[in-house]
Amino acid sequence: MRKILILLIILSFLGCVNQNSTNVSKTQSDKEHKTLSQDEIIQQKVTKDSLRLVNLKKKEKQIKELKKCGVIGIWRCDFSGYESIITFYKKNSKYTSKIDFTKSNMKTKTEKLKKVGSKFLVLGSKAKEYYLITDNGNLEMGDKQGLFTNALNVMPGTTIKELPKLNIAEVVGKDIFYIAGNYSKSFAETLDGTTSKIWLVYYADINVIFKVDKSTKKIINADYKD
């Protein structure tokens, strides 16, 4: 009986030692795993920073090359049927624009511009087309009727500033071409009910019907189409 008791004590002691050993081993393993995870995080950060620096250098080189070619701005136009990249150049105090169409077979278009104040007038344009670089860096495109559309600034090194969302509760009394030019990328569709004084016009991409005073081009009211 005494031998059995001694044997049980020894086995119990060995069990505690093994348990402690296991706990120590597990703790050490967890610590090593945690250390490896921290190393991985550091390595990922180093890699990310390295890529960021490479991209930054690439952008700086690209901007330098563009300026060397006389480029003063690049914009992306998303208007339906007129999707394009518009580039402005300045050489020997003369301005030109180049329009590369991205979703049609239209040939690249080159225009001579004349800077008058903050506007760039398209020389020889019967519709009196013009461009205007806005305070946020985007490009307004218009003619004698008013604003046609906006193009987003995509010059390397700049942050693209998306156009604001339309709030139809705030458009009454405003010029229809200004609203359409800022918020719509589709052509106007004249609706039944249009008269010699009132223009009912629908813009599909924003799904809004505008009632417009033809004499002033001001919006009388607006509502979403059912």
Q: What is the mean pLDDT of residues 100-117?
A: 93
Asked if pLDDT for residue 41 goes beyond 80, the answer is no
* pLDDT above 70: percentage of residues in the chain: 74
60-87 pLDDT, tens digit each: 676 778 888 899 999 999 999 999 999 9
Three-state SS at 85: strand
Q: What is the mean pLDDT of residues 44-66?
A: 66
Asked if pLDDT for residue 32 goes beyond 80, the answer is no
User: Would you list the DSSP string of 131-151?
Assistant: EEE-TTS-EEEEETTEEEEEE
Question: 62-91 burial, b for 16+ CB within 10 Å, e for fewer?
Answer: eeeebeeeebebbbbbbbeebebbbbbbee
Reading across the β-sheet that carries 189-190, which strands appear in turn? 189-190, 198-203, 208-213, 218-224
Min mean pLDDT across 20-29, 44-53, 143-152, 207-216 is at 20-29
Three-state SS at 12: helix
Asked if pLDDT for residue 139 goes beyond 80, the answer is yes
For residue 112, how many other CB atoms are within 10 A of its CB?
13
Q: Is the CB of residue 116 less than 8 Å from the CB of residue 128?
A: no
Query: What's the pLDDT score for residue 15?
Result: 54
Q: What is the pTM of this model?
A: 0.68
What is the sign of the dihedral through the CA atoms of 78, 137, 119 and 85? Answer: negative
Query: What's the pLDDT score for residue 3?
Result: 53
Q: Is the CB of residue 157 less than 8 Å from the CB of residue 137?
A: no
